[in-house]
Amino acid sequence: MSSFKKLEVISLLLFVLSNTCVVNGFAPLVNGKCAVTSLSAEGFGRTSVKEKPKNYSTKSGPQSVPSDAANTCGMSAADAKKALIDLIPRMTGKDEEYRAVESYVNLLEEKYVPVQTIDFLNLAMAGEWQLLFSTNLTGRPSRKLRLRELIQKVESVGFNGSLTNMAQWDLAEDEEVFDCTGIFNVKCSYQINQGARMIVDLNDHEIRPAKGSKIPSDVPGLVGLLHRAFPKEMFDPSGHAFDTTYLDADLRVVRLTGPHHEGVRNIFMRKGSFEINPASD
């Protein structure tokens, strides 16, 4: 089956499933209405957005919330998905932007119907997914390091599979010229033991300099910079499980369960599915 036909099949089947509402979000509905919710983890990511402000609070107060975020109870899943994809690249670190992301993800998770068969789950998950947003990227960036993209590649066979987090990096050891470049891979394996829950084990970290690149003089230092720049759960996911809380042909939301990153969410888009425009209107 060609890639185009495969995505058509995934889109059609997931569209049919999404017409049924299942509550599985940051917080449940209360008396049929959207409950006031709070974030599950500290630190919104710098992969596409600014770091979450230190004074961020989810308590009700005088802070303004965008009208589109406030009215998510009347939105369809398709509208919430579009609003989420439009918002993330343009975020500037405002509290109301994080609240809006939270609201859109809540709605998508509430309306999502989990995949019922392992074959269909594998078909829908397989491929390369670009990280758009993480609730767990709190480290300070270094002027020496530049990450151009962060991709998660999923390969599956039955209830087992591999998961590789791949980052293209550029390094300027003198903080001026980025003359070292390459790929950093975090290689993992996983098993599915219930529903769509992936139990993940770390296998290896791998640094591959690009052809013709200067070799970094301090490789352990580079690894340290990558560790600071990565969402921690993607650098070392050992001891954690990944729950797929929303999945369609081109958008995927993953919630972590485990000792260090409980409740953290990562938002991925299928690589090449959307044209991301960070420019504000």
150-205 tens-digit pLDDT: 999 999 999 999 999 999 999 999 989 999 999 999 999 999 987 789 999 999 99
Residue 274's closest CA among 249, 241, 239, 242? 249
CA–CA dist 191, 253 (Å, integer): 18
CB 240 within 8 Å of CB 258: yes
Question: How much is the pTM?
Answer: 0.73
Using alpha carbons, select from 95, 49, 32, 46 the residue that is nearest to residue 69. 95
Cβ contact 226:141 at 8 Å: no
> Which residues, including other chains, have CB under 8 Å from residue 208's CB and lie 6 or more apart?
182, 183, 184, 185
Average pLDDT, the chain: 76
- Residue 23: which pLDDT band, with cuts at 50, 70 and 90? very low
**How far is Cα 117 from Cα 125, in angstroms, rounded to an integer?**
12
- Which has the higher per-residue pLDDT, 50 or 212? 212
pLDDT in tens, 85-133: 999 999 888 889 989 999 999 999 999 988 878 999 999 999 999 999 9
Determine the pLDDT at residue 71. 63
Q: pLDDT tens for residues 30-80?
A: 333 333 222 222 222 333 333 344 444 433 333 344 444 446 767 899 999
Structure tokens at 271: 């690589």
Sign of the Cα torsion 235, 53, 105, 22 reads positive
Per-residue confidence (pLDDT) for residue 105, from 0 to 100: 94
Pairing of strands 251-257, 33-34: unpaired
